[in-house]
Amino acid sequence: MAPEACVARLSLYARELARLAHQRVGYVSSRRLAQQLGLTDTQVRRDLSTFGQFGTSGRGYEVQRLHDRLTAILGVSGRTWNVALAGAGNLGSALLAYRGFKERGFLFRLVVDADANKVGRVVQGHAVASAHDLTQIVRRHDIHIGVIAVPVEAAQAVCNQFVAGGVRAIVNFAPIHLDVPPTVWLRVVDLASELETLAFYLARTTKFETATP
Amino acid sequence: MAPEACVARLSLYARELARLAHQRVGYVSSRRLAQQLGLTDTQVRRDLSTFGQFGTSGRGYEVQRLHDRLTAILGVSGRTWNVALAGAGNLGSALLAYRGFKERGFLFRLVVDADANKVGRVVQGHAVASAHDLTQIVRRHDIHIGVIAVPVEAAQAVCNQFVAGGVRAIVNFAPIHLDVPPTVWLRVVDLASELETLAFYLARTTKFETATP
DNA sequence: CACTGTGAATGCATTCACAGCG
DNA sequence: CGCTGTGAATGCATTCACAGTG
């Protein structure tokens, strides 16, 4: 399996290449790609080379072709993924509205909430279902990816139902560690923690230029 | 300066300790803390040891005391941070509503949007100001941290104005790399990329247990 | 030439293994 | 004992340096 850090960047490459293709750029060098993304040219070449040889010496990478290859490798070309959202609050609603998902074939096929007041309502064009019997609903909709945007207290329970329903990948926005079997891929987005990390650095220094001696 | 990966976890430790304190737990071992957070006990001890010696052999760590020490180290104890939000759309609105921020002393002091229709409205209890002359407003409000929740096209411009206004830390939710001077701390939350990364792994395998030979 | 692709070298992060303390 | 704190060992990730190609 490919290095994890490099997989994480694959998505960035694909997106930047989509932009370049949109601007009708035909070829791009690792240098330029790196500059756009705040990386080094070596890193770009190393990353790409773990998936194949895509470049031409002296020319660089053919934008459209590389884009197509990368999206295929990422598993987001010529197919869609069924996504379920648990929690139709502010965050959940923001996620439903986010256009970047649909563009890449991530389709919200199911939205649930535990709050009886929300059930039946339509949020961002999606009808909110009851979270009762979540396992079964998830299974019935053949959900691939579960997104957890519920309060901490409910997160683990929702997670368990997702897993029981056959979900094999989960994105968690609740600020708590979720226990999942090792057969399930988990990704965490921790908003509070992001800010606290920044506070650490702010509290310390007025960040100095690294004086190169 | 402390290892970056370890700083990122500091916030998790602090939060878990807050929970334990709330449950009136007096002492906790690295083992238990690790279990709660999905880490190894060695890692917990190593992380904590980079900031000092907080434990007692045979007993573990005193929950309340360690919590207080860590929040102090993080720079979130006994002070507040002024935060500005650019972009009062769905995501921005979700961030304003998120309670975890205020709890740790992150206060939204300023909300701006470029959309004239939104200016003047109140979103989640915050009056939306015009993004015109952002640099000056940011300076006037003594903003420490800027949050970018605007469309890609606007992100770099907003970022520049934050920086010009004296902001030294930025959280970016726009799916694009932002150029900032090396004096500014940057953190990126890339929702689309999280899903794509998952798709990569899903597309590949039904994740197997790592068979230890 | 301007560029890619990659061994070899470095640097970070995690884990092992254990001395030492209450 | 049950636990912490930490050198030494391992394992990833990034960077260097350069041979090789169109």
Same domain, B58 and B110: no
The predicted structure's pLDDT at residue A85: 98
Neighboring chain B residues of A75 at a CB cutoff of 8 Å? 199-200, 202-204
The predicted structure's pLDDT at residue B213: 37
Same domain, B130 and B100: yes
For helices A30-37 and A4-22, angle between their N-to-C axes, nearest 10 degrees = 100
CB contact under 8 A, A195 and B8: no
CATH number of the domain at A173, please: 3.40.50.720
**Reported confidence tier of residue B212, pLDDT bands at 50, 70, 90:** very low
Alpha helices (H) in chain A, listed in sequence order: 4-22, 30-37, 41-49, 63-74, 90-97, 99-103, 134-140, 152-164, 191-204
The predicted structure's pLDDT at residue B211: 44
List bases, strand C, within 7 Å of protein CB. Answer: 1-7, 12-17, 20-22
Same domain, B188 and B89: yes
* For range B160-177, the mean pLDDT: 98
Same domain, A85 and A179: yes
The predicted structure's pLDDT at residue A206: 65
Please give the residue range of the domain that contains residue B44: 4-74
List bases, strand D, within 7 Å of protein CB. Answer: 1-7, 12-17, 20-22
Q: What would the pLDDT profile of B123-145 be if each residue is shown by its tens digit?
A: 999 999 999 999 999 999 999 99
Using the 3D structure, point to which of A39, A74, A109 is the last residue of a domain: A74
Determine the distance in angstroms separating the CA of A128 from the nearest CA of chain B, rounded to an integer. Answer: 17
Residue A140 (CA) to nucleotide C6 (C1'), in angstroms, measures 48
| A13-17, A104-108, B180-184, B206-210: least confident range | B206-210
The predicted structure's pLDDT at residue A212: 42
Same domain, A97 and A142: yes
pTM: 0.95
Residue B200 lies in a domain: no
Buried b / exposed e across B39-50, counting CB within 10 Å, b at 16+? beeebbbebbee
Residue A150 (CA) to nucleotide C22 (C1'), in angstroms, measures 43
Residue A22 (CA) to nucleotide D22 (C1'), in angstroms, measures 27
Computed over every residue of chain B, the mean pLDDT equals: 96
**Reported confidence tier of residue B60, pLDDT bands at 50, 70, 90:** very high
CB contact under 8 A, A179 and B38: yes
* Residue A108 pLDDT > 50: yes
Same domain, A110 and A64: no
Entry field: residues in chain A: 213
How does strand A185-188 pair with strand B60-62?
unpaired
* Residue B16 pLDDT > 60: yes
The predicted structure's pLDDT at residue A180: 98
* For range A14-41, the mean pLDDT: 98
Neighboring chain B residues of A185 at a CB cutoff of 8 Å? 198, 201-202, 207
Name which of B180, B201, B176 is nearest B189 in CA terms: B176
**Reported confidence tier of residue A211, pLDDT bands at 50, 70, 90:** very low
Provide, rounded to the nearest whole percent, the portion of chain B with pLDDT above 70.
Answer: 96
* For range B44-73, the mean pLDDT: 98
**Reported confidence tier of residue B1, pLDDT bands at 50, 70, 90:** confident
The answer to whether A11 and B192 have CB atoms below 8 angstroms apart is yes
Counted domains in chain A: 2
